Amino acid sequence: MLKKIEHLGIAVDSIEESLKIYESLLGTSCYKLESVESEGVKTAFLQIGESKIELLQATNSDSPIAKFLSKKGKGIHHIAFETDHIEDEIERLLAEGFELIHQTPKDGADNKRIAFLHPKSTDGILVELCQEKK
């Protein structure tokens, strides 16, 4: 079962420049900077209340974020939903007919196991499932 929106992912050209904007806008500081080598991305997380924003900067030209930025420019990249049982959620969504990019969870940023649904099956929106690592 999906519990809540865990975060919104925003593709940016520069974490450093975008952090200035979002820290000022939200009145809070970044609580975590992290690189995810397997995805070719550098991330920064900000939290306001229970809501989180993940800024995503490409670290190489082959990364999904680099491809997104070249096609669409800066902006909202994905919406992430939290679940306590990511494998069960993947199974449920496959049975419902959703197309998944990852049918097996993998390690993501911010101590999460993640899997993405293909935007073709979610009305054009990239959806991420995430579960806190235990």
pLDDT value of position 102:
87
pLDDT of residue 134: 84
pLDDT at 118: 97
E strands present in 22-63: 32-36, 41-48, 51-58
User: What pTM was estimated for this model as a whole?
Assistant: 0.92
Burial of 32 (0-12, 13-18, 19+ CB in 10 A): middle
Average model confidence (pLDDT) for the chain? 96
pLDDT tens digits, one per residue of 15-62: 999 999 999 999 999 999 999 998 999 999 999 999 999 999 999 999
Question: pLDDT tens across 88-105, in order?
Answer: 999 999 999 999 998 999
Residue percentage of the chain with pLDDT more than 70:
100
Token couple for 72: 């669409």
Rounded percentage of the chain residues whose pLDDT exceeds 90 = 96
